[in-house]
Amino acid sequence: MTDARPGRPAVTRRNVLRLGGAAIPAAALLGRDSPPAQAAPAPLRLAEKKTSMQLTWMGHSCIRIEQSGFVTVIDPGILSAPGAADGADVLLISHRHLDHYDTSKIAAAAAARPGLPIWTNKEVAALLEQSGAASGARVHVIGHGDAFEAGGLRVHCYGEWHAPIYPGIPQVRNTGFLVDGRLFHPGDAFTDPGVPVELLLLQLIGFYTKTSLSADYVKQLKPARVAPVHDATLTPAGQQGEDAVFSADPPTGLGTGVPYFRPAPGVPFEF
């Protein structure tokens, strides 16, 4: 992406890092005239793939997993697509923050599928009971070290607490989900499951994180591949900047050594 007007530096990875927002046209920062989102590249195919799944990024931190006709949805929040939880056979909820926990989406999914299993920590389970949003659903309370099966996929639970936001702001409970021993959704925490991860859903922006913390997390876990999530508050230009630095090596990139790709919202890809 470049701006050809005289007197304005080209929007390159180097200039974004050197000049910050000054390197990006105001129209781009406002979301105007930005290029369309790129489609996800061909999925990574590892030799020891256990189960073929279709993944769909439903916006922000919500991911939809389909395997043999069974639909698992993780973190349908207020910033995810309106139909993010439609047709869900099971819901996994990492924590209580509204960008991960939308009672209207949960209630609609529970009404459409009586007995809908919902797996979450005790804090969210209590909120679901108080709100009545999960009426008719079967809520299962889980925590760090627990494991369960959802539609033939084994899910392991990691972590207890949300990453710190600021002194004085209470931490809420947070559970990360490792699906099929390959896909890790950490919620809003930098939990290390202590096992190899094939695809890490990486949080890009939030009150608790910044680019350097997310990069350190990638370097710590060393997953086979990374896909960004938790970035609904970024402008298109902001997303492009994050994609650029995570995709490249020094001096213009972070040099995590891990392949990075951005799925197209709402478009399934094979994993």
Residue 85 lies inside a defined structural domain of this protein: yes
For the chain, what is the domain count? Answer: 1
Domain assignment of residue 81, given as a range: 53-260
* pLDDT given for residue 251 in this prediction: 87
Per-residue pLDDT reduced to its tens digit, 119-134: 999 999 999 999 999 9
Residue 131 lies inside a defined structural domain of this protein: yes
Tokens of 136: 């008719």
CA distances from 79 to 9, 41, 89, 217, 247 (A): 33, 24, 21, 24, 25
Element (H, E) at 92: strand 90-93
Residue 147 lies inside a defined structural domain of this protein: yes
* pLDDT given for residue 50 in this prediction: 60
Residue 180 lies inside a defined structural domain of this protein: yes
* pLDDT given for residue 221 in this prediction: 98
**What is the rounded distance in angstroms from the CA atom of residue 182 to the CA atom of residue 180?**
5
* pLDDT given for residue 130 in this prediction: 96
Strand pairing category for 147-150 and 225-229? unpaired
Q: Which residues of the chain are modeled with pLDDT < 70?
A: 1-51
Residue 41 lies inside a defined structural domain of this protein: no
Per-residue pLDDT reduced to its tens digit, 42-85: 333 333 446 689 999 999 999 999 999 999 999 999 999 999 99
Q: What is the domain-level CATH number for residue 181?
A: 3.60.15.10
* pLDDT given for residue 252 in this prediction: 85
Residues above pLDDT 70, as percent of the chain: 81
Residue 74 lies inside a defined structural domain of this protein: yes
Residue 34 lies inside a defined structural domain of this protein: no
* pLDDT given for residue 52 in this prediction: 86
